[in-house]
Chain A
Amino acid sequence: MVTAKHPKVGVLALQGDVREHVRVLSGLGADVVPVRRPSELDEVQGLVIPGGESSVMDKLARSFGLFESLRQRIRSGMPVYGTCAGLIMLADRVEDASPGQQTLGGLDVTVRRNAFGSQLESFETELSVPSVADEPMHAVFIRAPIVESVGDAATTLASLGDGRVVAVEQGNLIGTSFHPEMTGNTVFHEYFLRRVRAVADTASATP
């Protein structure tokens, strides 16, 4: 049994900036494994869905039987943190989806893909995330999605100066439009790992 102090967490490794997330999570003391198959998902107590191309992750997850397992784990309360494409994967509704694109869902939000435009509109900025970090954090947006509307069940964690929502949570699910794994700021990963430890503690306390 993995101790709650060093929880075993996965990074969905179908495509995207997997290595960046593995590095941050390992640095925070987590036991990290890449997840491409249902058997690998079974072994983890939490999952990060990285940045990348959401339409590609969706296709690969469905081709290799991972999609339904992921949905079941999300429904049963596994903590999941999604960045950029990961946020799209966790959204219940997606605007400007690739034809036939599906999402795992779980976050009661509508997310718009590539909401800022082409790569020329990708940017870095300072962002205040009061419930997660005391200080404003540096945030990198790359062909990023935004949360167009937040349903009753989800909570906004951060917005840009113009009010556009870029970070949300609901239960054990966290999603950000931006990439903390690229800046060295670990507050979101710590926030995620606290959820993983809390769920693991509850599970081990149950007789």
Chain B
Amino acid sequence: MTDTNPTQQFGSDRVKRGLAKMLKGGVIMDVVTPEQARIAEDAGAVAVMALERVPADIRAQGGVARMSDPDLIEAIIAEVSVPVMAKARIGHFVEAQVLQALDVDYIDESEVLSPADYVNHIDKWQFTVPFVCGATNLGEALRRINEGAAMIRSKGEAGTGDVSEATKHIRQITSEINTLKSMTKDELYVAAKELQAPHDLVAEVASTGKLPVVLFTAGGVATPADAAMMMQLGADGVFVGSGIFKSGNPEQRAAAIVKATTFYDDPSVIAEVSRGLGEAMVGINVGDLPAPHRLAERGW
């Protein structure tokens, strides 16, 4: 062995995308207090998302939704041993700088908060901390990856308990990937133009048949069966926002969703963990939401 200390490289692409790989097959849960964070870790959350209000409350209360109080984020980091994520507004690079200074493990540049810039997203290459971003289709996912996102989640329609939008987005992304796979090389130039995404990323997806980063689903997941369906549709894992702590029995529901995510292809396990969970979040049908209140339409 040598005595020299070889250089250590921090914040590389591989290191940023790598943490998302470690989260695969897991459930990331929204929490608004250290107590909820403790419940989430004890139930088997693979990471927690620290925020001040869950999307259902942001919806109900209205107003501008911003980054959480640093005191709250630090208290949640102090409480748990699993990774802690926190949300910055779309385009709000200073909120992202603050979250990095607070030592969060991942930043979610999130449409659940009010956008701070209606033109630009954050230049995520400038950060050591990795970012996850939402996408409703493949072009949007590749634009975010081009800006430095190290993980993608489908957007769904957060805070509704209605999983139909999450289903639509994961199906859309998967089917667009399948279309690319069947194209010849010369067709990929036009495909890149139509997807409004860089050609090199489009060519990479066409040849590998998958996104270059981990893909989770989010938005409206409220039951073990919802989570298992997202996994069967090809997600690498799930985010559960309001679905846990807006339900009758958060501890049991959280643990059930974790188990259903691992045994997503085993209906007998999903049936077993779905028994006696009590009331799921009441929810809102996405069709009843007037267009200006649809969060998935934020970001581009």
Interface residues in chain A, defined as those with a beta carbon under 8 Å from any beta carbon in chain B: 13-20, 36, 51-53, 55-56, 59-60, 63-64, 84-85, 96-100, 113-114, 117-128, 130, 136, 140, 142-143, 159-162, 179, 182-183
Contact = CB atoms under 8 A, between A and B. Distances in A.
Which of A19, A51, A127, A142 has the most chain B CB atoms inside 10 A of its CB?
A142
Interface string B12-31: 10110011011111100000
Contact of B24 (A52, A98, A113, A140): A52
B24 A17 contact: yes
Nearest to B265: A36
Contacts of A59: 44, 258
Given A55-B81, A123-B9, A140 B25 contact: no
Contact of B3 (A36, A126, A161): A161
30 contacts: A15-B24, A16-B24, A16-B25, A51-B22, A55-B41, A55-B82, A56-B45, A56-B258, A60-B44, A60-B262, A97-B81, A118-B105, A119-B19, A119-B104, A119-B130, A122-B15, A124-B9, A124-B15, A125-B9, A126-B6, A126-B7, A136-B6, A142-B19, A143-B19, A160-B5, A161-B2, A162-B5, A182-B14, A182-B21, A183-B14
Given A52-B22, A119-B130, A120-B129, A142 B15 contact: yes
A201 to B, nearest CB: 32
Contacts of B26: 15-16, 52-53, 56
Nearest to B85: A119
A52 B46 contact: yes
Given A51-B22, A98-B81, A124 B8 contact: yes
Contacts of A122: 10, 15, 18-19
A18 B9 contact: no
B73 to A, nearest CB: 12
A18 B237 CA distance: 13
B1 interface: yes
B6 A161 contact: yes
Contacts of B22: 16-17, 51-53, 84-85, 142-143
Contacts of A14: 25, 262
A36 B11 contact: no
A96 B41 CA distance: 14
By secondary structure, the B interface counts as loop
B1 A128 contact: yes
Contacts of A97: 81
B42 A63 contact: no
A134 B58 CA distance: 57
Which of B18, B26, B262 has the most chain A CB atoms inside 10 A of its CB?
B18
Contacts of A13: 25, 262
A179 B262 CA distance: 22
Contact of A143 (B3, B7, B14, B83): B83
A159 B22 CA distance: 23
A119 B105 contact: yes
Contacts of A125: 6-9
A98 B81 CA distance: 6
Which of B12, B22, B45 has the most chain A CB atoms inside 10 A of its CB?
B22
Contacts of A51: 21-22
Contacts of B7: 125-126
A165 to B, nearest CB: 12
Contacts of A123: 8-10, 12, 15
B201 to A, nearest CB: 20
A20 B21 contact: yes
B82 A53 contact: yes
Given A98-B41, A182-B14, 4 more contacts: A85-B22, A100-B42, A124-B12, A161-B4
A101 to B, nearest CB: 9
Contacts of B104: 118-119
Contacts of A161: 2-6
A114 B41 CA distance: 15
Interface string B244-262: 0000000000000011001
A131 B5 CA distance: 19
B263 interface: yes
A206 to B, nearest CB: 36
B15 to A, nearest CB: 5
B239 interface: no
B81 A15 contact: no
Contact of B15 (A60, A98, A140): A140
Contacts of B105: 118-119, 143
A59 to B, nearest CB: 5
Nearest to A130: B1
